[in-house]
Amino acid sequence: MKKMIIAIDGPSGTGKSTTARLLGERMNIRYIDSGTMYRGITHVILKSDIKPNELKKIIEIANDSKFEYSNNKVFMNGIDITKEIKSLEVMNKVSSVSKIKELRNSLVDKQRKVAEDESLIMDGKDIGTVVFPDADFKFFLICDLNTRASRRQEEFLDMGYNIPIDKIIKELKKRDEMDMKRTFSPLKKAKDAIEIDTTHMIIEEQIDCLYRKIISNTY
């Protein structure tokens, strides 16, 4: 199979990451969730005494970060951060960290490097618009807000946190707004992306849907 880049964007809770991961397994293509990088940096900032206005320090953290992925785990500078980056604290803070232009440039460089020598499926907010504008396939997943919130609630329950649905809805709304309205690389559908509404789809249907479109090369 020739080298290919598949970009999957959309708001949080649309099933992007799970779809991208399982699609990667089915197609035997490497998969990376770019959100883990923004979450990883946010986690490190939250753990430190760095203030939101200490831009130089924040950008240094991004420049010095090295992300590795294996067995569905995320490692930042050798440390397993898989669980930490899914916390409510990180979820609340990540959108204000990810609007910093220099931080984005640093992470986008790292994201592009991964695709230098191999095929890649990457999911995020700006993959089809900024990171890989020439991607072979671009998908934009959307989903009803309440369904997204219940999916997130399930994920939290699996991690042992019982978070009220109202709180999750509020956070998702706030994050959508910040991600869509930021100046640099806002969350938006690339002109040539295929939009898929996942509200009534189970995960297998989502994977099949993308897989069929890739295989039949229908756009």
Contact residues: ligand C5P, CB under 6 A: 12, 34-35, 38-39, 94-95, 98, 124-127, 175, 179
Is residue 207 within 8 Å of 23, Cβ to Cβ? yes
In 3-state terms the chain splits into helix, strand, coil percentages (rounded to 5) of 50, 15, 35
Q: Which is nearer to ligand C5P, 181 or 212 (CB)?
A: 181
Q: At 6, phi and psi to the nearest 5?
A: -120, 120
Is residue 125 within 8 Å of 185, Cβ to Cβ? yes
Least distance between ligand C5P and beta carbon 16 (Å): 7
Q: Which distant-in-sequence residues (6+ apart) come within 8 Å of 26 by Cβ? A: 207, 211
Least distance between ligand C5P and beta carbon 132 (Å): 11
Is residue 182 within 8 Å of 120, Cβ to Cβ? no
Q: How far apart are CA 119 and CA 102, in angstroms?
A: 26
Strands 67-70 and 73-76, how do they pair? antiparallel
Least distance between ligand C5P and beta carbon 198 (Å): 14
Q: Which is nearer to ligand C5P, 197 or 212 (CB)?
A: 197
Paired residues of 121 in beta bridges:
6, 31
Q: Which is nearer to ligand C5P, 104 or 207 (CB)?
A: 104
Least distance between ligand C5P and beta carbon 119 (Å): 19
Least distance between ligand C5P and beta carbon 48 (Å): 19
Q: Which is nearer to ligand C5P, 98 or 119 (CB)?
A: 98
Q: Which is nearer to ligand C5P, 167 or 212 (CB)?
A: 167
